[in-house]
Amino acid sequence: MNRMEATPGSQSTVLRRMMAKAAPAALLAAPLAVALALRLWMLESLFQPNGDTLVYGDLAKNLLLHRRYALTSPSGDIYSTLIRLPGYPLFLAACFRLFGMENYFAAACVQIVLDLAACLLTADFARRIAPPAWKQSALRATLWLAALCPFTASYTADPLAEMPTVFLLALALWALARFHGAPESAAAGSGRRNGQAAISLRGLLRWAEGPTWGNALCFTFAVTGAALLRPEGALAAVALAPAMVFGWPGGHDAGIIPRRKLLRMTLVCVLLALAPFAAWAWRNWRVFHVFQPLAPRLAMDGNENRMEGWERWVKTWCLDFISTEEIYWNVPDGELDVSNLPARAFDSHAQYEATVALARKYERDDEHITPAIDAGFERLAEQRIAAHPWRDDLWLPLGRLADMWLRPRLDNLNNDQDWWAYALHPGETLFDWAYAGLNALYLLLGLAGLWLRPRFWTAMLAYMLLRSALLLTLAAPETRYTLECFPMLFALGGIAMAAGIARLRRRGIEG
């Protein structure tokens, strides 16, 4: 018989092998296809560049056209600034160079690609940190959780720093798990010896496992990039770097990597991570004569009125996002409508009258917070804090934090922000409650995953706690500030679902 001929039996064997090889890819392709469809729908429905997007875009344009990190004034002149870190303007500048000036749509499409990559990275991270028996279930569950999440999907259509930050956090987690990859590799080898089919991203994400320079530099790039996008991105390094250095099973003394090599890696990575911020601080010192290695807390240049009295007064009553949208974002340069203030903004009729007087003066001064107006708000803040110190130091900050974690994530949707007003829009209110329930489900799954204590659970918890502690200091809440925690919630939730699936299977076998 000709050696090129094949019997029917051999053909079926080859077909079965091909199908067996294709099955893992198909299991990955299905959630990715759903994820892509959801994000394209979000792009079609929600894409509308405005606000901070245009600020970032102006910085990117001036970088390309004038080689200056500068904003454009209403008169057309450009002036140097430090109100935003250079990470996202550089991202937009690259998109504008490749796809055309002010092509925000192309930038949103790139963000969709980054989010799909983040889904894969987060799923593989969950697989690596899950117990051996749950690895493949954890990967599949995490990938579906990330693919179907409308909260992260909606921000791919919004050209802002959130989505690249989410991608870099997923990359940092993945690099962390790969750096400590020896236990995962051993488990995977055991699974292959037992003849189990494994879903792996190794073909897509190929370089050496373990404490290699590649994994260390990948982690450094991720946490540095996150900090260059937003100042609080530096919390990723604070929370995850200790796990990177000391996160070996059984401790570093287990002998997995020589101390001298680990020290050398740490030193090089720290220097590389600090270099961009040293350059940024030097630029700010040279241009503005101030030491500013990140970005100002209130996103203002040194010559601008910081409105500290206004900020302090807002903190004495602001509790939810609708106040952020209707009051906080409008000032300065917009209307200050006292009728939109909640009743908790006034402790007495005298305070109400004083607030109305300041609002009228603000309107007469062309909607600017002058030093005199700011001093008036400072006096109101002092009165309110003295009368209710616990409210202003504890209850309101905790309330704002709860709003950022628990309210329906509608800030970039087309729904009214008064989501509780059923009589005004019953259909929207039902949707909003469902959105709040979905958000609660992701949080509960994440808590269940933390309860199971997978590898690096302390690092993930540390990041979420540090971020929450920082958010307690804000005057006005925005739900997008907790979005960066979702890669960790996806991974922890996927592990919790894998544990539940394993428990159901055991019951089925025992039954």
Segment 199-247, tens digit of pLDDT:
444 444 456 778 899 999 999 999 999 999 999 999 999 999 999 998 7
Provide mean pLDDT across the span 328-332: 91
pLDDT digits (tens, 9 = 90+) for 17-40: 555 555 566 778 899 999 999 999
Q: Tell me: the pLDDT tens digits for 168-177?
A: 999 999 999 9
Q: With respect to residue 279, please indicate whether it lies within any of the assigned structural domains.
A: yes
Measured between its terminal Cα atoms, the distance across the chain in Å is: 52
**Count of Cβ atoms closer than 10 Å to residue 387 Cβ:** 13
Half-sphere exposure of 185 (CA within 13 A, CB side): 12
pLDDT for 205 equals: 46
pLDDT at position 255 over 50: no
Residue 486 has pLDDT above 90, yes or no: yes
Could you tell me what percent of the chain has a pLDDT over 70? 87
Query: Token match 């790139």: residue?
Result: 110
Instruction: Report if residue 417 sits inside a domain.
Output: no
The closest alpha carbon to 147, from 47, 33, 68, belongs to 33
Residue 415 lies inside a defined structural domain of this protein: no
Among the ranges given (9-23, 188-202, 399-413), the one the predictor scored with the smallest mean pLDDT: 188-202
> Given a cut of 70, is residue 42 above it in pLDDT?
yes
Per cent of the chain over pLDDT 90 is 73
Please tell me the distance from the alpha carbon of residue 64 to that of residue 46, in angstroms, as a whole number: 27
Give every CB contact of residue 84 below 8 A, 6+ residues apart in sequence.
55, 56, 59, 295, 299
pLDDT confidence bin for 190, thresholds 50/70/90: very low
**What pLDDT does 412 receive?**
87
Q: How confident is the model at residue 414 (pLDDT cuts 50, 70, 90)?
A: confident
pLDDT of the residue at 257: 76
Look at residue 94 in the predicted model and tell me its pLDDT: 97
Question: Would 363 be classed as within a structural domain?
Answer: no
Long-range contacts of 73-79 (CB under 8 A, 24+ apart): none
Does residue 426 belong to any structural domain of this protein? no
Flag whether pLDDT at 5 surpasses 60.
Answer: no
358-367 pLDDT, tens digit each: 999 999 988 8
255's CB contacts (< 8 A; 6+ apart) are none
How far apart (Å, rounded) are the C-alpha atoms in residues 448 and 499? 10
pLDDT of residue 15: 56
Task: Write down the pLDDT at residue 147.
Answer: 97
Q: DSSP readout, 121-135?
A: HHHHHHHHHS-GGGH
**Does the residue 306 lie in any domain?**
no
Structural domain that includes position 215: 34-296
Residue type, 29: A
Alpha helix ranges (H) inside 365-425: 371-387, 389-390, 396-406
Residue 398: other Cβ atoms inside 10 A: 11
Task: Give the Cα separation of 484 and 232 in Å (integer).
Answer: 10
CA angle 52, 56, 62 (to 5 degrees): 145
Does residue 435 belong to any structural domain of this protein? no
| Residue scoring higher pLDDT (398 or 51) | 398
Q: pLDDT, tens digit, for every residue of 259-299? A: 888 899 999 999 999 999 999 999 999 999 999 998 888 77
Closest by alpha carbon to 28, among 164, 175, 204?
A: 204
Residue found by looking up tokens 């006005």 in the block:
476
User: What is the pLDDT at residue 488?
Assistant: 98
**Is the Cβ–Cβ distance between 290 and 302 less than 8 Å?**
yes
User: What torsion, rounded to 10 degrees, do the Cα atoms 256, 258, 263, 269 define?
Assistant: -50
What number is the average pLDDT over the span 373-395?
A: 95
Structure tokens at 385: 């804090």
- Average pLDDT of the chain? 88
CA dist list (Å): 230 to 86, 153, 234, 254, 484: 9, 19, 8, 37, 11
φ, ψ dihedrals at 197, nearest 5°: -80, 130
Split at pLDDT 50, 70, 90, the class of 258 is confident
pLDDT of residue 21: 55
Judged against a pLDDT cut of 80, whether residue 142 lies above it is answered with yes
Total domains in the chain come to 1
User: pLDDT digits over 348-357, tens only?
Assistant: 999 999 999 9
- Which class for 119: exposed (0-12), middle (13-18), buried (19 or more C-beta within 10 A)? buried
Cα–Cα distances (Å) from 285 to 82, 85, 142, 234, 501, in that order, read 10, 15, 45, 21, 56
> What is the CA angle 158-162-168, rounded to 5?
130
For residues 159 and 43, the answer to whether their CB atoms sit within 8 Å is no
Look at the pTM and tell me if it is higher than 0.75: yes
Whether 185 contacts 200, CB under 8 Å: no
Phi-psi region at 131: left, alpha or beta (left = phi > 0; alpha = psi -120 to 50): beta
Reported in sequence order, the residue ranges of 42-86 that DSSP labels E, i.e. its strands, are 70-72, 78-80
Residue 432 belongs to a domain: no
Question: 182 is written with which tokens?
Answer: 């020896």
Mean pLDDT, range 98-126, rounded to an integer: 97
Looking at residues 103-110, what average pLDDT do you find?
A: 97
Distance CA 478, CA 400 (A): 9
